[in-house]
Chains A and B, each alone.
Chain A
Amino acid sequence: MGEEDYYLELCERPVQFEKANPVNCVFFDEANKQVFAVRSGGATGVVVKGPDDRNPISFRMDDKGEVKCIKFSLENKILAVQRTSKTVDFCNFIPDNSQLEYTQECKTKNANILGFCWTSSTEIVFITDQGIEFYQVLPEKRSLKLLKSHNLNVNWYMYCPESAVILLSTTVLENVLQPFHFRAGTMSKLPKFEIELPAAPKSTKPSLSERDIAMATIYGQLYVLFLRHHSRTSNSTGAEVVLYHLPREGACKKMHILKLNRTGKFALNVVDNLVVVHHQDTETSVIFDIKLRGEFDGSVTFHHPVLPARSIQPYQIPITGPAAVTSQSPVPCKLYSSSWIVFQPDIIISASQGYLWNLQVKLEPIVNLLPDKGRLMDFLLQRKECKMVILSVCSQMLSESDRASLPVIATVFDKLNHEYKKYLDAEQSYAMAVEAGQSRSSPLLKRPVRTQAVLDQSDVYTHVLSAFVEKKEMPHKFVIAVLMEYIRSLNQFQIAVQHYLHELVIKTLVQHNLFYMLHQFLQYHVLSDSKPLACLLLSLESFYPPAHQLSLDMLKMLQSRLKTTCFSIQYSAFLNSETSVCEGAPISHQGNTVKNMLLFSNRFLETKL
């Protein structure tokens, strides 16, 4: 397996922390993505490392018993430590506030605290086996104020910090999930829903395990991912991942099923809106894209892996410290190790080795793994860092060796222009709304974001087409067909074609003496009228006399009669003198374009004569 084959990799610079051992406990906070290394209950030091801050926070705290859970509030303002099943201790990290610890006991009698989650810099939720309690922390008073609470039996809980949703598992089978949403001091209960458990043998009691549930935001929507080890339908073997869509309002709905076609131990990540499923037995991973077309059975869509299963790219543990001096070769890292712990969305932690990685998707290898260019484009256009890869796919499909057929090229162009048009429309309606003065009245009005998937004409021209037409070995028929296909696609999406694309067509036709073709294109207004184009045509008159007439027609259409006369008088001098037209007063504002056209025609003349 060549290196170019791996499409998943661990980030180059992982967060490194002290390995977990009997005296050093390691904790991970999903909200701040921080790793806590607590030595001897904090007495000999706590080191906190996050993915962004390269300067770790370190401090000491008194050893008041075994730490069960430790987390900073957002922006690292307040530290919360759980040491008993009834209480949580707090310590301010705000300058000028007392750093003395203060404690909060859970309100519900006889309840045990399962854990806690920070929902803002001063708001915290206690999850107990009998419900949840939502507090506001008042650091200056060193006390907490209960905002709201809710009673229900809880088996386990899960927190998605991106969407501020806590999911509680209730009932005996643990499969009824109750979501709560938190925002600015409010807690709202969302409709509960049931996860359908697979039919299990009678001897074992079925139940929903916390390990089989994950929460993640995919394409801006919150999903609950359930790893079902056995399909409900007995005839299909292999595990599957069931995606429940959890909307802001309304009931949760089963939407997608990802077919894994294998059994064993799995772990889930979400990277760049792709669901990554790791399989420990085979030490490989597969990816799913719920936006790609799947099989829809009327209520849910079934998806298969986008690509064949591959291992994560082998990783060498970087050597730091004195070992680096001795020319010791880097140690290969054991991938898919049983000591790996996976967190959403894209985090892999090896507590035994002391590393935290972000999982990343590499797009370049995928280009060769997905032969269907239409599907490849659908896939790439949804990725964050797709621009250069897409442009390279375009160049590749026009290259001599990997030349795609015209229908395929047309499909690719259509997909590009579909995205491009969507953006142009959004821009336009934004501009219109701003003009209408709605910007103040409606806070929802946002300038559309230009993602990397928006490839405009200048991108395609600069990176793909201009180099393509220069290739001498390309049959000119193919070159023209490709250019026309791009122009057709732009027209189909009602995008105004830029003049330089027309120039490219004309240049190619003229180089191959295909004047009659050019004439026909102009006759049907495929090459839109423009002043630079009219000038270019005028300059071609000596090789193709009808160009004169075409040029005058074009100028007439442009409603510039005055300039027409000016041109008719001057055009004879046009080819000989570079200055005569440029200095002509009526077109001085056009000077630049005209100069360019002249340069072009001169260049052309050189090759011609």
Chain B
Amino acid sequence: MAAAAAGAGSGPWAAQEKQFPPALLSFFIYNPRFGPREGQEENKILFYHPNEVEKNEKIRNVGLCEAIVQFTRTFSPSKPAKSLHTQKNRQFFNEPEENFWMVMVVRNPIIEKQSKDGKPVIEYQEEELLDKVYSSVLRQCYSMYKLFNGTFLKAMEDGGVKLLKERLEKFFHRYLQTLHLQSCDLLDIFGGISFFPLDKMTYLKIQSFINRMEESLNIVKYTAFLYNDQLIWSGLEQDDMRILYKYLTTSLFPRHIEPELAGRDSPIRAEMPGNLQHYGRFLTGPLNLNDPDAKCRFPKIFVNTDDTYEELHLIVYKAMSAAVCFMIDASVHPTLDFCRRLDSIVGPQLTVLASDICEQFNINKRMSGSEKEPQFKFIYFNHMNLAEKSTVHMRKTPSVSLTSVHPDLMKILGDINSDFTRVDEDEEIIVKAMSDYWVVGKKSDRRELYVILNQKNANLIEVNEVKKLCATQFNNIFFLD
């Protein structure tokens, strides 16, 4: 956690204080049915991080969680406990499949102060973490696991506890390292999808492209289309797309962005005779199509797990800023020939389409006029289509998501969100924050809008600017007044 600690170094408190952000203490998965008798407790544990922890401690921790969940259930049978607050840490519980429990223990942020005698004093900030944010992170862990491995139950059916343990170990060992608990915020609660704004005609062209590709590559079952890491089309259902989108934008695309920037492995393959020049290339699967020994292995994903339970190969193909995901049934094994065919059909057309989109995007940008730096920042989310838009967040990098506002403001946003969750009614909350900041939260028919205003000596009346914002930025959306 050294890196994160250094990050706080620039703050005004740096001289006397050291800040330590929240950190993952442990993460475990268990099923109480697997070791119901005394002495068999170890069998309950399916995965435990960190693995180095002594066995009895593992058993103790699991047992404690089990007891808490059981105990609280007596008070609220339908809604078992979701989290447990302690001075030093917070535990989050989730039961994604019947009797399978996932627990994440997060250490509260710490401030280390120098006392007068020079001794460091550690102070835990008990109220900093937002339950909703970390519960969402925990649920997302499961969703991501399920996307690449299917359900726990399916693993049990396929190969019993042994297989399930193997899969959990393999997946979470790597995945947990990518959890950046210090930068989790409101967006993690939403788990939204950023949609690429596009005019009707270009959108129809993309539709036409997708339909043609699905026709000529007839083994394709679903297709998704993204531009600039923003979604344009999903053939998958919403929930599956939500987690796939998360994977693509936080893991797969960032991993490939660096070689692109460096200009390495230049994608134009002029040397291939008779091949139209294009910028298409595979982000999953074969790296070099000219290599006869190239491996055509694609990641497998699991979708519609509640009903049809489909296993698919995920082919991600990209030309310039446009990325297409082709999903084909796992029973079909894509050959190198298929990949070459895909490359020759999709590559040229996607290249043209990508430049069309780019051109159209620039025209639209010019038409909307030179944008003055607005006086406000906002986060918008629509529960219905998971559309999310944030001017608070900078571009996400693989390591952290950067926000342009103070963490305290982000926490206010989270608090407002928690308030919204408690009632079903539409409402608006206005908060005066430190210095000259005002924060406005608005909830209307399953949409949420959070605005941060920074205006010198602004008063409550001026805060009504938000109405203007609604009128300009969201003119096509129906907000109840």
A481 to B201, CA, bound (A): 15
A526 to B204, CA, bound (A): 7
Stretch from B4-12, B161-169, B209-217, B265-273 at the A interface: B209-217
Q: Which B positions have Cβ atoms within 8 angstroms of A?
A: 195, 198, 200-201, 203-205, 207-208, 211-212, 214-216, 233-235, 237-238, 382, 384-385, 387, 445-447, 476-478
A477 to B208, CA, bound (A): 12
A516 touches B238 (CB 8 A): yes
8 contacts between A and B (CB under 8 A): A484-B204, A488-B205, A488-B207, A491-B201, A491-B204, A516-B238, A520-B234, A564-B478
A548 to B200, CA, bound (A): 22
B237 touches A484 (CB 8 A): no
Any chain B CB within 8 A of the CB of A67? Answer: no
* Residues in chain B near residue A484, CB distance under 8 A: 204, 207-208, 211
Partner of A481, one of B203, B205, B215, B445: B215
Question: Measured between C-beta atoms, what is the minimum distance from B10 to chain A in Å?
Answer: 41
Question: Measured between C-beta atoms, what is the minimum distance from B471 to chain A in Å?
Answer: 12
Question: Measured between C-beta atoms, what is the minimum distance from A270 to chain B in Å?
Answer: 40
Question: Measured between C-beta atoms, what is the minimum distance from A220 to chain B in Å?
Answer: 34
Question: Measured between C-beta atoms, what is the minimum distance from B244 to chain A in Å?
Answer: 13
A587 to B24, CA, bound (A): 59
* Residues in chain B near residue A549, CB distance under 8 A: 382, 384, 445-447, 478
Any chain B CB within 8 A of the CB of A555? Answer: yes
Any chain B CB within 8 A of the CB of A405? Answer: yes
A552 touches B445 (CB 8 A): yes
Partner of A556, one of B207, B214, B215, B477: B477
Question: Measured between C-beta atoms, what is the minimum distance from A63 to chain B in Å?
Answer: 76
A149 to B211, CA, bound (A): 69
Any chain B CB within 8 A of the CB of A407? Answer: yes
* Residues in chain A near residue B214, CB distance under 8 A: 477, 481
A523 to B476, CA, bound (A): 10
B208 touches A546 (CB 8 A): no
A524 touches B478 (CB 8 A): no
A550 to B200, CA, bound (A): 17
Closest B residue, CB atoms, query A564 = B478
Partner of A553, one of B200, B216, B478: B478
Question: Measured between C-beta atoms, what is the minimum distance from A410 to chain B in Å?
Answer: 7
17 additional A-B pairs beyond A516-B237, A524-B198, A526-B203, beta carbons within 8 Å, are A405-B215, A406-B211, A407-B212, A410-B208, A477-B211, A481-B211, A484-B204, A485-B208, A488-B207, A492-B204, A519-B385, A524-B200, A546-B385, A548-B445, A549-B478, A550-B384, A553-B477
B195 touches A555 (CB 8 A): no
* Residues in chain A near residue B207, CB distance under 8 A: 484, 488, 526
A-B complex: 5 closest residue pairs judged by Cβ atoms: A481-B211, A546-B384, A488-B204, A556-B478, A552-B478
A148 to B211, CA, bound (A): 69
Interface residues of chain B: helix, strand, loop or mixed (majority)? mixed
* Residues in chain B near residue A491, CB distance under 8 A: 200-201, 204
Any chain B CB within 8 A of the CB of A487? Answer: yes
Any chain B CB within 8 A of the CB of A525? Answer: yes
Closest B residue, CB atoms, query A552 = B478
* Residues in chain B near residue A552, CB distance under 8 A: 445, 478
Closest B residue, CB atoms, query A523 = B385
A520 to B198, CA, bound (A): 12
* Residues of chain A at interface, number, CB under 8 A: 33
Any chain B CB within 8 A of the CB of A199? Answer: no
A520 to B238, CA, bound (A): 10
* Residues in chain B near residue A492, CB distance under 8 A: 201, 204
Interface digits, A549-572 against B, CB 8 Å rule (1 contact, 0 not)? 110110111000000100000000
Closest A residue, CB atoms, query B211 = A481
A478 to B212, CA, bound (A): 10
* Residues in chain B near residue A481, CB distance under 8 A: 211, 214-215
Question: Measured between C-beta atoms, what is the minimum distance from A472 to chain B in Å?
Answer: 20
* Residues in chain A near residue B238, CB distance under 8 A: 516
* Residues in chain A near residue B233, CB distance under 8 A: 520
* Residues in chain B near residue A524, CB distance under 8 A: 198, 200, 203
A550 to B476, CA, bound (A): 11
A410 to B215, CA, bound (A): 13
A556 to B201, CA, bound (A): 23
A173 to B235, CA, bound (A): 74
A491 to B207, CA, bound (A): 13
A525 to B203, CA, bound (A): 9
A526 to B445, CA, bound (A): 23
B212 touches A526 (CB 8 A): no
A545 to B385, CA, bound (A): 11
Partner of A488, one of B208, B215, B216, B477: B208
B205 touches A523 (CB 8 A): no
A549 to B201, CA, bound (A): 24
A549 to B381, CA, bound (A): 14
Closest A residue, CB atoms, query B231 = A520
Question: Measured between C-beta atoms, what is the minimum distance from B306 to chain A in Å?
Answer: 14
Question: Measured between C-beta atoms, what is the minimum distance from A452 to chain B in Å?
Answer: 28
Interface digits, A478-511 against B, CB 8 Å rule (1 contact, 0 not)? 1011001101100110000000000000000000
Q: A481-B211, A516-B238 are in contact. Are A557 and B476 (CB under 8 A)?
A: yes
Partner of B478, one of A477, A485, A516, A555: A555
Interface digits, A237-280 against B, CB 8 Å rule (1 contact, 0 not)? 00000000000000000000000000000000000000000000
Of B233, B234, B235, B384, most A-chain CB atoms within 10 Å = B384
Closest B residue, CB atoms, query A485 = B208
Q: A492-B201, A546-B384, A546-B385 are in contact. Are A523 and B211 (CB under 8 A)?
A: no
A101 to B124, CA, bound (A): 129
* Residues in chain A near residue B216, CB distance under 8 A: 405
Question: Measured between C-beta atoms, what is the minimum distance from A489 to chain B in Å?
Answer: 9
A552 to B478, CA, bound (A): 6
Question: Measured between C-beta atoms, what is the minimum distance from A417 to chain B in Å?
Answer: 13
Question: Measured between C-beta atoms, what is the minimum distance from A171 to chain B in Å?
Answer: 56
Interface digits, A58-70 against B, CB 8 Å rule (1 contact, 0 not)? 0000000000000
* Residues in chain B near residue A405, CB distance under 8 A: 215-216
Question: Measured between C-beta atoms, what is the minimum distance from A374 to chain B in Å?
Answer: 16
* Residues in chain A near residue B478, CB distance under 8 A: 549, 552-553, 555-556, 564
* Residues in chain B near residue A526, CB distance under 8 A: 200, 203-204, 207
B211 touches A485 (CB 8 A): yes
B201 touches A523 (CB 8 A): no
Question: Measured between C-beta atoms, what is the minimum distance from A604 to chain B in Å?
Answer: 21
A525 to B387, CA, bound (A): 15
